[in-house]
Amino acid sequence: MVDWLDGVYHLHYTRFNLLVFFFGISGADRVGFLTMKILALSDNVISFIYSPQVKRRFQGVDLLLGCGDLSYNYLEYVYDALDVPLYFVRGNHDQVVEYGSGTQRTYPHGGIDLHGKACFIKGILLAGVEGSLRYRPGMFQYSQSEMWLHVFRLAPALLKNRLVHGRYLDVFISHAPPAGIHCETDLPHRGIEAFRWLIDFFKPAYFIHGHIHIQRPDSITESQVGRTCIINTFGFREIEIETPA
């Protein structure tokens, strides 16, 4: 649907667009729009994804997103199998160098590190920030202040998006959740204040994160804040999003 807000053209994504294709609902493209299918991964290796079945099961996926705490080898396997663009951010458990059988990886080959970057891919405005709050020595952890800096550094690109594309951002990916949403009270799993501001100000259609492990089937993994649908990927999530043709 198309909304007008402050005289500026916005895309309005309803939860209807989040039709997981478990149910086989794959929307026919509406006039002027294309439906893009996203597969988001984080935290937990899924056995049928890390297998030759992945190609058949996720046929039709247009874009792969990695939300952290997954081995580079796993992401690379899915990227090679599906042969679609892969954008990722790292989590607090990711390695600087990952050692495999006779190989070393510092990122999933073929993937693009989205930390602190904004880009336009297949009609979708993407941006991302890696890591969690700092709770021990190691990489990919930051203070709340450092997270504010990461978000502020994205602002010029998002403002430019609004001028060029009529909207700031479609999909934001992170490892940690926003403050007050899907987060927990212990330091490693607290939410990021700057992400909450980003949601209020830039109003992405989707905010996709990882980091929060789901222990119970009744855990909340999807929340709506204003125009933004916030999704905890934990494992994998399939998302459909409409973009202007």
92 contacts Zn ion (rule: CB under 5 A): yes
Closest of 75, 130, 86, 94 to residue 112, by C-alpha: 86
> Which helix or strand (DSSP H or E) is residue 201 part of?
helix 193-202
141 contacts Zn ion (rule: CB under 5 A): no
Stretch that binds Zn ion, among 34-42, 66-74, 118-126, 155-163 (CB under 5 A): 66-74
- Reduced to 3 states (helix: H, G, I; strand: E, B; else coil), residue 73 is helix
Cα separation, 177 vs 214, whole angstroms = 13
Cα separation, 65 vs 215, whole angstroms = 23
Stretch that binds Zn ion, among 14-22, 52-60, 91-99, 154-162 (CB under 5 A): 91-99
Q: Which of 69, 94, 170, 242 binds Zn ion (CB under 5 A)?
A: 69
Cβ 35 to Zn ion, closest distance in Å?
31
Amino acid identity for residue 120 in this structure: F
85 contacts Zn ion (rule: CB under 5 A): no
The partner residues of 211 in beta bridges, in order of sequence, read none
Cβ 220 to Zn ion, closest distance in Å?
18
Cβ 193 to Zn ion, closest distance in Å?
18
CB 234 within 8 A of CB 212: yes
211 contacts Zn ion (rule: CB under 5 A): yes
Residues contributing to the site for Zn ion (CB under 5 A): 69, 91-92, 211
